Structure 1
Amino acid sequence: MSHSIDHPTTDNALLLIVDVQGKLARLMHESDAMIRQQQILIEGCRLLDVPVIWAEQLPDKLGPTVPELTDRLEGLTPSAKSSFGCWGDADLREAIHASGRDRILLAGIEAHVCVWQTAAALRREDFQVHLVTDAVSSRSAHNRDIGIRRMAAVGAHLSCVEMVLFELMIDANHPRFREVTGLLR
Structure 2
Amino acid sequence: MLVDVQQKLLPHIDDNARLLRHCTALVRAADLLGVPVLVTEQNPRGLGATVEGLISPEHRVIEKDTFDATLNDAFVAALPSAKECVLYVAGAEAHVCVLLTALGLLRLDYRVELVADAVGSRDPANRSIAIRRAEQEGARLTSAETAIFGWLGSCRHPRFREALGLIK
Paired-residue identity, %: 38
What's the offset of the Cα at 1:86? 1.2
1:45-124 equivalences under 5 Å are 45-70=30-55, 73-97=56-80, 101-124=84-107
Is residue 10 of structure 2 the alignment partner of residue 19 of structure 1? no
Moved over 3 A (4+): 97-101
Return the alpha-carbon distance in structure 2 between the equivalents of residues 26 and 99 of structure 1: 34
Please say if residues 35 and 68 of structure 1, whose CA atoms lie closer than 8 Å, have aligned partners that are also in contact: no
Output the aligned Cα RMSD.
Answer: 1.4
Structure 2-normalised TM-score? 0.95
Equivalent residue for 1:128, pick from 111, 129, 154: 111
Q: Which runs of 5+ in 2 are unaligned?
A: none
Equivalent residue for 1:44, pick from 13, 24, 29: 29
Structure 1-normalised TM-score? 0.87
Q: Which runs of 5+ in 1 are unaligned?
A: 1-15
What's the offset of the Cα at 1:98? 6.3
Q: Name the counterpart of 1:10.
A: none
What's the offset of the Cα at 1:115? 0.5
Q: Name the counterpart of 1:174.
A: 157
